[in-house]
Structure 1
């Protein structure tokens, strides 16, 4: 037998004068096989660099041991931490993770889903795009018996389990912090109205304002469609140049908040003395901005781990009907951009 050709169970059986089934069971240390035979087979396999044919094993199990993950954007601090958590949990359980992005565009998300299906993934993790509504294209996975778990950005119109953060409470805590610091005119740069986590954060903002008997001006709530730093810059310019400017801004994400900071610094506002700013996500950039940005931690790594663990449990149980929702609590991270009380104490 040529050593260049990959060694098979049949080769081992022929060389040792035993059946293929005996070789297979010996490698798995089956209790029906004598220890002497197990040692003989394992020693031969090790000496001749035998590598199991995982493709054939997986085919017999009707699994590829690959799962898919689709996010709106790969180069994004929050989603990169989610991906890291997902890879960690997938590898821990013997699975590989195939990653793609939708660019927050429905058409691209549909193409990514088709690619995942064509790659025969065993299941899918997805944070839907801003353009996705009912997620009908994701039903193709369920129809083929492949479970889907949504995380972060989700739609309630799709019958799948979900792993989310408590966006309402995170936003409420952020705005309450601004109020406790002494800010009374708080604006909100929100996301799209039709996106669930954006709506939850806006609801948390409004409830905190209401509970503390403050008033808000409808013109203080701006809709960011692309969730960019430029929108943060442009909307902050509109707010501060209006007849009734706010003295604090709660932003849908840290990226938007960094755009707001850029405008305020460029036009000479003192932060947090003149205007307080708080974001959402706890990007790495929020820790190195000047001033450092207050924010809300979403625990992306934990989301990735929990979503993957849930998906793999469904795969093992052949379960596509699970509707469980896992909600992860956020954590308020207070930094310089909103600590008005420290400025007052320093006087």
Structure 2
């Protein structure tokens, strides 16, 4: 037999004098196939560098073994952690991950979803963009019987499982820590008012103030549009130069907190003595800021891992009970120097 081309299952069957189905079953160690036959076929396959034609196998199964993943940003510590978790879970089960980013644009998200649907991915993992309100392009996957798992930012219009950080619990714990450190006038630089994680973090912030009978003011809750360092700087300046300045700022993300810290350093305000700063996400940069930034760890890797496991479970079992459940990954408070006034 020539070794210049890759051998096929038919070649193995012909050389060993067995049927193609027996060769296939022996390679996959099906029950009812003798150990002697299994060993004979697998040894022959190994000796001749047999590689299964996964494309043909998956075509017969009407599967591509490819999962689509849509994220707002790829070069982003939190989302890169989610991607790492998703890749590990997918690879373990023999799936490939096709990744696209939206740059927080609804139009790019729609194009990415249509391309993935046209490419016949088996299912979709998605964190919707800040602009997304119409989710019909995601609903198309469900209409074709393809499972969808939403993670991080999601839409309640879609009846799918959701794997998210417990943003309410994380925000409540962050503000509670600030209060325990003696801060009494706490502002919150929030995100977009129609994005669920911004809504939940704002609710956690407000409830912590209510629980401790502290004052609240609408002007202490500016809303970012792009969630940028520049907005953090601008809103910190606006808050601290107002007639009723806060003594602590809880920021929607670490990037926004970095901008706030830059303003405070430039204006010679002492952190944490005069004002405390709390972030959210636990980017690597939060550890090297001066002073180091207290923040909330979202466990992005675990979110990506669990979302992908759930999607693959759905693909393999077609378990309809998976629909519309919400899995919340508990966050952890990372206490560093930007809020630590008491030992």
**Structure 1 and Structure 2 fold alike (TM over 0.5):** yes
TM-score w.r.t. length of structure 2: 0.96
- Aligned residue number for residue 297 of structure 2: 297
What is the alpha-carbon distance in structure 1 between the residues aligned to residue 37 and residue 336 of structure 2?
66
Does residue 273 in structure 1 map to residue 259 in structure 2? no
Contact 1:281/1:298 (<8 A) preserved: yes
Residue 118 (structure 1) shift? 2.0
What is the alpha-carbon distance in structure 2 between the residues aligned to residue 98 and residue 217 of structure 1?
45
Q: RMSD between aligned alpha carbons?
A: 1.5
Q: Alpha carbons of 1:140 and 1:50: their partners in 2 closer, same or farther (altered >3 Å)?
A: same
What is the alpha-carbon distance in structure 1 between the residues aligned to residue 213 and residue 136 of structure 2?
42
Mapping of residues 229-308 of structure 1, within 5 Å:
229-308=229-308
What is the alpha-carbon distance in structure 2 between the residues aligned to residue 210 and residue 35 of structure 1?
69
- Aligned residue number for residue 81 of structure 1: 81
- Secondary structure of the residue aligned to 1:290 is coil
- Secondary structure of the residue aligned to 1:222 is coil
Q: Alpha carbons of 1:24 and 1:244: their partners in 2 closer, same or farther (altered >3 Å)?
A: same
- Aligned residue number for residue 328 of structure 1: 329
- Aligned residue number for residue 6 of structure 1: 6
Q: Alpha carbons of 1:23 and 1:184: their partners in 2 closer, same or farther (altered >3 Å)?
A: same
The gaps in structure 1 that reach 5 residues or longer are 343-347
What is the alpha-carbon distance in structure 1 between the residues aligned to residue 246 and residue 89 of structure 2?
44
What is the alpha-carbon distance in structure 2 between the residues aligned to residue 224 and residue 136 of structure 1?
26
Q: Alpha carbons of 1:39 and 1:173: their partners in 2 closer, same or farther (altered >3 Å)?
A: closer
Q: Alpha carbons of 1:189 and 1:253: their partners in 2 closer, same or farther (altered >3 Å)?
A: same
Pairs aligned (count) = 342
- Aligned residue number for residue 51 of structure 2: 51
- Aligned residue number for residue 193 of structure 1: 193
What is the alpha-carbon distance in structure 2 between the residues aligned to residue 159 and residue 202 of structure 1?
24
What is the alpha-carbon distance in structure 1 between the residues aligned to residue 29 and residue 314 of structure 2?
29
TM-score w.r.t. length of structure 1: 0.95
- Secondary structure of the residue aligned to 2:222 is strand
Q: Alpha carbons of 1:146 and 1:319: their partners in 2 closer, same or farther (altered >3 Å)?
A: farther
Does residue 213 in structure 1 map to residue 213 in structure 2? yes
Q: Alpha carbons of 1:304 and 1:218: their partners in 2 closer, same or farther (altered >3 Å)?
A: same
The gaps in structure 2 that reach 5 residues or longer are none
